[in-house]
Amino acid sequence: MIIEASATVRAEEFHAPGPAIFELPPVFEIGSLGVTKPMLQLVIAAVIVFAFFHLALRRRALVPGRLQFAGEGAYGFVRNSVARDIIGGHDFQKFVPYLVTVFFFILVNNLFASTPFFQFPTFSRAGMAYGLAGMSWVIYNAVGIRKHGFLGYLKLQCVPAGVSPAMYPLLVPLEFFSNILVRPVTLALRLFCNMFAGHILLVLFATGGLYLMQHVDGIGYVAGPLAWVLAILVSFLEILVQFLQAYVFTLLNAMYIQGALADEH
């Protein structure tokens, strides 16, 4: 079958989509800065998030209208099930605006990957993900240092409680590595790689299906449409992944902040 299929290939070979599909030309340039599509998407996402909440709050009432109810649900989701449940206490209130911004900013940018006319995940550009992860790293460390002092915070993060001091030489570097060094890297890579891989997968199914129908006789007429059906199914999977990645990023931010504020390990 493979031999048969390859025998019927008529034209040029199929080029699988690679990292090059993420290198978009600038839409326009400001000075020497080429403004690309993902950069515009960042701005549009911010406008959408703020516009949504602003409209939801425009006619603020004790008995909410439909839009206000939706806004309260969205805000309350991050406020209650992320900030309050994880950070808890009286401290969580301070971090609600930050966590709400993180969640909805990332969520809208991720959903752009499955939105017609955008169809590009903003955080498949590594720099964007690095930016937010680096910011998370600065914030949770700053929160911890402000509460415990520099040395106190280092001790909190690196010296596990309830372990005999004999184990310190082994455990302290490990804890430092996992709590201070690795966290921003995993935060950034998790988000970036999921968006990157999801987009490549969709492009592969779409262009591959087209190639099968155009250039492969016989089986191509069956496999091509099948690839597109799969592309649709994968799109739904991707929407789930887009939501989950936004949620996980926010959740981990909350957990890192909680860990930095904790009194005991």
225-246: b or e for each residue (b if 16 or more CB lie within 10 Å)?
eebbebbeebbeebbebbeebb
For the chain, the first-to-last Cα distance in angstroms comes to 61
**Whether 220 contacts 11, CB under 8 Å:** no
Tell me which residues in 27-46 interact with other proteins (CB under 8 A): 33-34, 38-39, 42-43, 45-46
Q: Does 103 bind other proteins (CB under 8 A)?
A: no
Token pair 């999977």 is found at 237
Number of residues near other proteins (by CB under 8 A): 45
Ranges of H-type helices in 57-149:
66-78, 92-111, 126-148
Q: Does 20 bind other proteins (CB under 8 A)?
A: yes
Q: Does 72 bind other proteins (CB under 8 A)?
A: yes
Q: Which of 4, 16, 24, 54 binds other proteins (CB under 8 A)?
A: 54
Q: Which of 135, 201, 255, 262 binds other proteins (CB under 8 A)?
A: 135
Min dist. Cβ of residue 32 to other proteins (A): 10
The rounded distance, in Å, linking the Cα atoms of 82 and 130 is 22
Q: Does 9 bind other proteins (CB under 8 A)?
A: no
- What is the binding site for other proteins (CB under 8 A)? 18-20, 22-23, 33-34, 38-39, 42-43, 45-46, 49-50, 53-54, 57, 60, 62, 64, 71-72, 75-76, 79, 93, 96-98, 100-101, 105, 124-128, 130-132, 134-135, 192, 196
